[in-house]
Structure 1
Amino acid sequence: MSISFDRLRSILFDERASGTLTDIPSEFYQNVHEEIERMYRALYDSGDPLSEETQDMIRQIESIKSFLQEIFAIRTSRIIELATAKANGDMIDREMMRLMTSEERLLFDNVSQAVSHARSTMVELHIRRKTPVIEEKVEEEAGEVITPQEVTPVRITTPVEQFMGYDGRTYSLLPGDIVVLPRPNADVLCNRNIALNTRIRK
């Protein structure tokens, strides 16, 4: 189903005025493209490319494209901000997830996974490399050998409540998320069929 010019303009005004995602049709982007295609067909069928009616239609098509571009820019900026927050361990309101279209949810998942991966390599890996120095002091005081904290990449397969990891981080995960967890946490989730170990075994 296509979307009218007035409806699209109304959505844009709502997005500009709101500080968060607004409720748009689940097939919003497809509907807009269908409307543009419909208008192009009407334009080609008009027969007179120089008529005032044809020129008005051309201007309206360009306006629709401009509206779509601005809506995309506003919404993707907010989605990227939410995805980054999730990758850094923040809780994301499930209502915000519901307000995303399927294309936007894919963007959210990809950004969240990319930031999570970057964090694990640029932040957590650095911490793990420094850990043995700290553990040597603990070994001297307690007389016990403590090995560096190992991690395991897993993919979440079923819903799981927020939990505190052995690394001190709070994890809020959704099915389909791929995340690097401390091995004890990963083992528990895998044993309970909540996650799958994605480590490549040689």
Structure 2
Amino acid sequence: MDIEKLWEILYRERNTASLQELPDRFCEDVRDYIAKLETEKEEADETRKGFLEDEMRNARMKIEDIIRRRIGKIIKLASSGMDTPPKGMLDEEREMFQAVKSQVEEGRARIFAYIFGKPALIRSKPQKQEKTHTERYNEKDNDDTDNKHSNQYDMVRILENIPTFMGTDGRIYKVGKEDVIMLPKTNAEILCNRGVAMRFEAYKRERGERIR
């Protein structure tokens, strides 16, 4: 690694929208290059030392510019919904991509649920640490399930297929038409007001009236 190679890498990052592929040992090579300049500076005379200090300062500026531009591209890619990191990323950049992607998805879901009061689309699969609520209830189990949930939840029957959403309890809900499920009261009220769900007690009364 030298100042010319750093300039070439920076030039490509500046002039292309895509993330450029870096050498596998980019970080190690840059670190060795800076260390070499430091060693040379300690042994150089005053004139040579001045040139080496200028080169080190110039090299650091280029390195910082390269990393800054790449981070901007990585954040843009991660927030666009891309599922897998593109080729050419350093190991540290891949970790950054996954972390940003996870935070963006979680934040988007929470903001949409809070502001709009309706299910928020989640484009990619939930992370392993997220709890998914896929438990479905049959009508014959209603009396048992009523005793297992607090007054903060309502049992509803889903009338239409709806997108996956995050409940006010922080859980991810995946439900489909005809599902009977316990939901946080706020989410249950929102879905019922939108006409895509019916509180189960109302559904049972309606069905009983039809039978009579």
CA distance in 2, matches of 1:130, 1:35: 54
Aligned to 1:27: 25
Who is 1:67 aligned against?
Answer: 62
CA distance in 2, matches of 1:118, 1:36: 39
CA distance 1:112–1:76, change in 2 (3 Å)? same
Structure 1 residues not aligned, in runs of 5+: 132-151, 157-164, 170-179, 186-202
Q: In structure 2, list runs of 5 or more residues that go unmatched.
A: 120-124, 130-160, 166-170, 177-212
**Aligned pair count?**
135
**Following the alignment from structure 2 to structure 1, what is the Cα–Cα distance between the partners of residues 128 and 114?**
19
Secondary structure of the residue aligned to 1:77 is helix
Instruction: Name 2:79's counterpart in structure 1.
Output: 84
Amino acid at match of 2:80: A
Alpha-carbon distance between aligned partners in 2 of 1:8 and 1:124, rounded to the nearest angstrom? 45
The answer to whether 1:121 aligns with 2:119 is: no
Are the counterparts in 1 of residues 19 and 88 from structure 2 also a CA contact under 8 Å?
yes
In structure 2, what is the Cα distance between the partners aligned to 1:12 and 1:154? 34
The 3 A distance-change label for structure 1 pair 40 and 123 is same
Within 2, Cα distance between the matches of 1:32 and 1:130?
Answer: 49
| TM-align CA RMSD | 2.9
Name segments (4+ residues, structure 1) moved above 2 Å.
Answer: 124-127, 180-185
Give SS of 2:32's match.
Answer: helix
Q: Per the alignment, do residues 130 and 16 of structure 1 end up closer, same or farther by CA in structure 2, a change over 3 Å counting? A: closer
Is the 1:20–1:78 contact (alpha carbons within 8 Å) kept by the matching residues of 2? yes
Deviations 1:78-121 (A, max 9, x none): 110001112xxxx45x6x62111111111111111111111121
Alignment of 1:2-81 (within 5 A): 3-46=1-44, 48=45, 50-51=46-47, 53-81=48-76
Bigger Rg over Cα: 2
TM-score (norm 1): 0.58
Task: State how far apart, in whole Å, the 2-side matches of 1:27 and 1:125 are.
Answer: 45
Percent identity, aligned pairs only, is 21
Shift of 1:40: 0.3
Alignment CA distance shift 1:32-1:117 (3 Å): same
CA distance in structure 2 between the partners assigned to 1:184 and 1:98 by the alignment = 36
Deviations 1:152-171 (A, max 9, x none): 95429xxxxxxxx95179xx
Amino acid at match of 2:95: L
Tell me the distance in 1 between the aligned counterparts of 2:10 and 2:90: 16
Q: Which residue identity lines up with residue 120 of structure 1 in the other structure?
A: A
Would the alpha carbon gap of residues 155 and 68 (structure 1) be closer, same or farther in structure 2, given more than 3 Å must change?
same
Distance (whole Å) between structure 1 residues aligned to residue 24 and residue 172 of structure 2: 33
